[in-house]
Amino acid sequence: MDISAIQQQLRAFSAERDWDQFHNPKNLAMALSVEAAELVELYQWLTPEQAEAASHDPAFATRLGEELADILLYLLRLADRTGIDLPAAVARKQQLNAQKYPADAVQGQAKSALNSGQHHSST
Amino acid sequence: MDISAIQQQLRAFSAERDWDQFHNPKNLAMALSVEAAELVELYQWLTPEQAEAASHDPAFATRLGEELADILLYLLRLADRTGIDLPAAVARKQQLNAQKYPADAVQGQAKSALNSGQHHSST
Amino acid sequence: MDISAIQQQLRAFSAERDWDQFHNPKNLAMALSVEAAELVELYQWLTPEQAEAASHDPAFATRLGEELADILLYLLRLADRTGIDLPAAVARKQQLNAQKYPADAVQGQAKSALNSGQHHSST
Amino acid sequence: MDISAIQQQLRAFSAERDWDQFHNPKNLAMALSVEAAELVELYQWLTPEQAEAASHDPAFATRLGEELADILLYLLRLADRTGIDLPAAVARKQQLNAQKYPADAVQGQAKSALNSGQHHSST
């Protein structure tokens, strides 16, 4: 995926609509979180098994793709507006996660309020 | 950014930690939304002007990059677990947005409860 | 619960700390959503069964109570700042829900992307 | 506001619709966060000044009241399902906040990534 190309398209899209006035970092962060909630909404009443199976439903998969795209577009836009180098930030975070969660120390453990202060199932 | 390569790394990272049991679509959607809230938290008490200026603060930019990376990593992981082709979904959504928000019809207008049912400042 | 009394206490709490400058409606809405995500975080890696059982764990229940209180406090503060009569708004919404979801029409059905456009499992 | 009475009404409302199967704590936490995002959506493109003024617009105030009511109803439902005594949890949290944020130590300061690790503008 060509991040810079998409960011350039989003810049043009916003400029053509005079939307730069709305796309400040604070507002974009809010908008991204609203899109994340629309993703959550897709799954909120489903059992984990139904949620898993839903991916095979074409209508659901289309909706899911739209929500993921909405989140990603705001993410790219926000990174562009704030000068964050996303690929570098991702590579750095992956390194931090590898240090923070040594495989042998966190086997099968997720941080939760039941075993708080322990380990966090990060990506 | 090589999406497939990162998704492959995330798959290995999760497998090595026996975390696949936690990474079902419902849980990943929740986790993504929690990371989106951590992004919002960075900006919640800042004025729009302070939020804009914060990007130039190295410590803030580092934190911002980490939050954006967390969101993106969960997004890539969820897309991988659900079989969503992210670049295709993004391209499709950009087309839909172009159709939904003709530039001359939505000039300088953001959907809000003040002018509800009108236009939506999408990315 | 005496809503007005708590709102009066929150007003004093904020005034004593010179925090009214931060507590505008936009920021309070953001803060409330961040607290809602901290609630979600408690449950994100738990199975529904573990989530149900967690209420019986004293440490979890304490954390849960704190997150629910945080949300409620921001809700009361925002309602106070915007002049919303919460008890009246709740009573009105309950009436709307009763009309929108007739018991015989929505038996055992939750709106989801799998049966989209149908029924919504509201409170 | 009579919390117990509303919780009793919500119990009956859910039972009549066979919705108890959906209203487990994990799902209710997700639903609450989705409603919180609908609140954020009302404000996302508004300047702080527009957000402040919006309270005086009757249509906006009605929408705002509905979103706040939705959040509060899910909060009451979740507290009921998990056995949390909300008034006690709120009173306890107010005490904790008073200890955590002594007025003279946090005058006019909000926690942010710009002055991280310092003070948090809580309610």
CATH of the domain at A31: 1.10.287.1080
Residue showing tokens 């909000």: D110
Give whole-number Cα distances, C111 to C28, C58, D22, D94, in Å. 29, 34, 11, 37
Q: Which of A43, A72, A54 is nearest to B92 (CA)?
A: A72
pLDDT tens digit sequence for A89-116 = 999 999 999 999 999 999 999 864 344 4
Q: What is the pLDDT of residues C58-107, one digit of tens each?
A: 999 999 999 999 999 999 999 999 999 999 999 999 999 999 999 999 99
Determine the structural domain holding residue A25 and report its residue range: 3-121
Q: How many CB atoms lie within 10 A of CB B1?
A: 15
Test the B interface: residue of D114, D116, D118, D120 with most B CBs within 10 Å: D114
User: A115: which chain B residues are within 8 Å (Cβ-Cβ)?
Assistant: none
3-state helix vs strand vs coil in chain A, percent to 5: 65, 0, 35
Nearest-by-Cβ selection for C22 from D16, D97, D110: D110
pLDDT exceeds 70 at position D28? yes
* pLDDT tens by residue, C41-71: 999 999 999 999 999 999 999 999 999 999 9
Give the SS3 label for residue A22: coil
* DSSP SS3 for C119: coil
Mean pLDDT calculated for residue range D79-90: 98
The C-alpha angle with vertex C26 and arms to D45 and C75, in degrees rounded to 5, equals 135
Name residues whose C-beta falls within 8 Å of residue A60's C-beta, 6 or more positions apart in sequence. Answer: A42, A54, C113, C114
Q: What is the DSSP letter of D118?
A: S
Alpha helices in D18-114, H assignment, sequence order: 25-43, 48-54, 58-82, 86-100
Q: Quick check: C115 pLDDT over 80?
A: no
CA distances from C63 to A87, B34, D11 (A): 36, 16, 24
Cβ separation A114–C33 shorter than 8 A: no
- Cα–chain-centroid distance for residue B34? 11
The reported pTM is 0.93
Flag if A46 and B26 touch (Cβ within 8 Å): yes
In angstroms and rounded to an integer, the radius of gyration of the C-alpha atoms of chain D is 18
Q: How many CB pairs below 8 Å do chains A and D form together?
A: 35
Contacts of A36 in chain D (CB under 8 A): 37
Residue of C nearest to B34 (CA): C37
ipTM, 2 decimals?
Answer: 0.92
**B48/D47 touch (CB, cutoff 8 Å), yes or no:** yes
Task: Report the residue from A51, A69, A121 with minimal CB separation from B26.
Answer: A51
Chain B contact for D63, CB < 8 A? yes
Tens place of pLDDT for every residue, chain B, 123 residues? Answer: 899 999 999 999 999 999 999 999 999 999 999 999 999 999 999 999 999 999 999 999 999 999 999 999 999 999 999 999 999 999 999 999 999 999 999 999 886 434 443 344 555
Report the alpha-carbon distance of residue A13 to residue B30 in Å, rounded: 30
- Asked if the Cβ–Cβ distance from B54 to D110 is below 8 Å, we say no
Residue C116, pLDDT score? 40
Q: Please, which residues 97-116 of chain A have a Cβ atom closer than 8 Å to chain C?
A: 110-114, 116
User: What is the number of domains present in chain D?
Assistant: 1
Partners for C (CB, 8 Å, 3+ pairs)?
Answer: A, B, D
DSSP B12-72: HHHHHTT-TTT--HHHHHHHHHHHHHHHHHHHTTS-HHHHHHHTTSHHHHHHHHHHHHHHH
Q: How far is C5 from chain A (nearest CA, A)?
A: 31
As a whole number of angstroms, the distance between CA B119 and CA B12 comes to 43
